[in-house]
Structure 1
Amino acid sequence: MRILESPAAAPDRRLPKARSLARNNAVTIVAAEPGLIEAESTEGDTCHRVRIELPCWAGQALADATSLIEKAMADAPAGLAPGDLPDELATALSRRVGLAVPLDEQAAHCTCSDRRIPCLHVLATLYTLTQRVDEHPRTALDLRLPHPPPALDHESSPDWIALAAVDPATFYTGE
C-alpha cells in the first residue's frame, strides 16, 4: 500500500474506487502462487480478469530471504498460528531483500479497456491482496519464494488441527 499511496506521487483519483471495490468483495483472488496473482474484478455486470506477475527472489536475494526466514522461524514463539509470521521478519526482509514489489517491476494485465497503467481493477486487486496479507502474512512470502523453505512448514503443528477433523458429536464430551 505504501507503493500505491506514496505521498511523493501525485494523488490518484482512482484509489478510493479501487479501495471500495476491494472492501465490497468485488475482487476475488482465484490464484496466489509464486510470482503470480490472478483475480476477477466485478464492476456492475462486468467481470474483468486480472493477472499480476511478480518477480520471485533469486540468487543472493533468495539466499538472504531463506536465511532470514529460517532464523526468524527458529526464534518464533511456540504456538504461532498457521499462516502467521513473526513480526520482526517483515522488517528484516524489507531492509535486506525488499518485501514489496514496486509497480514498475510488476507485469499487470487486465481484460478491461482502460489505457491507464495500472488500471482500476489491478489497483483493486492489489488492495484485496493487501487485505489477504494482513490476515495471512505468509501469503507475502509465498508470492516471492520460488519454493518455501522447510522452516515455514509450521502449518502442521500438533497444536493445530483442521476444523474438518473435529467431530461435533464428541468434541464437548471428550470421548
Structure 2
Amino acid sequence: MADNEFGYTIWGMDWVRLAEPISLTKPEPLLPRARSIARNGGVETEIENTMVRATIHRGSEASVTYLEFAPLPSADIRTIAGLVPAGALSLADELHGAILGAGVTLAPTLASVDCSCRARTERCVHMLATCYTLARQVDENPWLALDLRGYRTGGSAEDPVEVPVSRWTPLDTLDPAAYFDLPAN
C-alpha cells in the first residue's frame, strides 16, 4: 500500500473511499483530474469541527466546496476513548484495527456536500479533489480522521438520524404567495 499517493495508511484509505467507493460500477472520468489538482496543491482547506471548506483554484476559475461529516455517536466516542492510550501522540494502524474490532465504523459519512461550480452534481471534480486532499492530510495526521467525525468535540448527543437533504428545491413545491409574502385578496 506504500505505492499509493493518497491513502497510504489505513486511516487515509477510509477517506479515499469517499472519492473511490467500491460500489462504483463504471470508471469515474473525473478522478484523474481530481488527483492532479490535489497532488499539485490546488486545494486549500479550512477545517472547523466536522466541516471542511475547500478553495480550489484551476487556471482562471475558483470554486468553494463545503463538506460536512456526520459526527460519531456518543457510544462510539466512549468506545474509542477506551481504546486510545492516554497521551497518544499518533494513532497506529493496529489501533484502527482494534477500533473496527470493537464494532465502531471509522469510515467517514458525508452529511452535506455543496460546491459553487457549475457541475450541478455532488460528485464534481472539486469535491473529489477535496476528498483526496483530506486523505493526504489524514495520512499525515490520523487524529484528523477522528476530529472530522467529532471525536474531540463530543460527537452527536444521540444516534444520527439519516435525513436526505435535497440540494435543489423544485419550483413546483413553492407557493408564490407565501414565498413572496403577498397579501391575500
Kindly indicate whether residue 102 of structure 2 is the aligned counterpart of residue 99 of structure 1.
Answer: no
Between Structure 1 and Structure 2, the one with more helix by share is 1
Percent identity at matched positions? 34
Which of 103, 110, 118 is the matching residue for 1:113?
118
Q: 1:50 aligns with which of 50, 62, 65?
A: 65
TM, length-normalised to structure 1: 0.69
Q: Is the Cα contact below 8 Å between 1:34 and 1:56 reproduced in 2?
A: no
Mapped to 2, the partners of 1:58 and 1:122 lie a distance apart of 25
Aligned mates of 1:88, 1:125 — CA distance in 2: 27
Shift of 1:3: 4.1
Of 17-26 and 41-50, more deviation after overlay is shown by 41-50
Q: Secondary structure at the match of 2:107?
A: coil
1:67 deviation in Å?
1.8
C-alpha displacement at 1:142, in angstroms? 1.2
Say which of 87, 98, 117 aligns to 2:93. 87
Gaps of 5+ in 2: 1-15, 155-185
Alignment-derived partner of residue 78 in structure 2: 63
Look up the match of 2:149: 144
Give the SS at the match of 1:144. coil
Q: Distance in 2 between matches of 1:99 and 1:92?
A: 11
CA displacement at 1:125 relative to structure 2: 0.3
When normalised by structure 2's length, the TM-score is 0.66
Q: Distance in 2 between matches of 1:24 and 1:49?
A: 17
Q: What is the RMSD computed on CA atoms of the aligned residues?
A: 2.2
User: Structure 1, unaligned stretches of length 5 or more?
Assistant: 150-175
Q: CA–CA distance in 2 between the matches of 1:132 and 1:126?
A: 10
CA–CA separation in structure 2 for the residues paired with 1:60 and 1:108: 26
Which of 49, 64, 77 aligns to 1:34? It is 49
Query: How far 1:100 moved relative to its partner?
Result: 1.6
Consecutive aligned runs of 4 or more in structure 1 exceeding 3 Å deviation? none
d(CA) in 1 for partners of 2:134, 2:35:
11
In structure 2, what is the Cα distance between the partners aligned to 1:146 and 1:34? 9
Instruction: Give the drift of 1:122.
Output: 0.7
